[in-house]
Amino acid sequence: MKTRRNRKKFSREAAIPSPFFMALGVAMFVFFGYIWLDQRCEALGRCISQLEGQKVELQRQIKQERSRWESAKSLEQVEHLLQRHHVAMTWPDERNIVRIRRTVEEPSAMEAAPSRRQFARVGGIAND
């Protein structure tokens, strides 16, 4: 007995051509790449705006601290603190002031070897 053969002709071509799938794949790749890039840019934008806010706040704090420091080191403020802590300070007498002049031949203290550096002495104690 003979077996029946399937006489349908099978086409080897798909119903949708493969270039269409390739173009669809490329389009999906570009689309998802665009979405990812857009989200990444938005995240970076949020981060940048947050950092700019921190920068403005730090600049404000710097300005405030500089103002405090300037007012703290003013002559009036220093005099007020000296009076508050009962510290009596005066300028030294002219005979107590030691003026040291460097001659042209001598190297400066920074250029001299550490063993040759000289420091002012008060009562036998070197003032560094």
- Residue 64 pLDDT greater than 70, yes or no: yes
Look at residue 89 in the predicted model and tell me its pLDDT: 83
- C-alpha 54/C-alpha 62 separation (Å) is 12
Task: Identify the H or E element spanning 121.
Answer: strand 121-122
pLDDT digits (tens, 9 = 90+) for 66-111: 999 998 888 899 889 999 999 988 888 988 888 888 777 766 656 6
Q: What is the pTM of this model?
A: 0.47
Single-letter amino acid code for the residue at 21 = F
- Residue 56 pLDDT greater than 80, yes or no: yes
Greater confidence, 69 or 17? Answer: 69
pLDDT digits (tens, 9 = 90+) for 21-49: 899 999 999 999 999 999 999 999 999 99
With cut-offs at 50, 70 and 90, classify the pLDDT of residue 123: low
Q: Using CB atoms within 10 A of its CB, is residue 108 exposed (0-12), middle (13-18) or buried (19+)?
A: exposed
- C-alpha 11/C-alpha 81 separation (Å) is 102
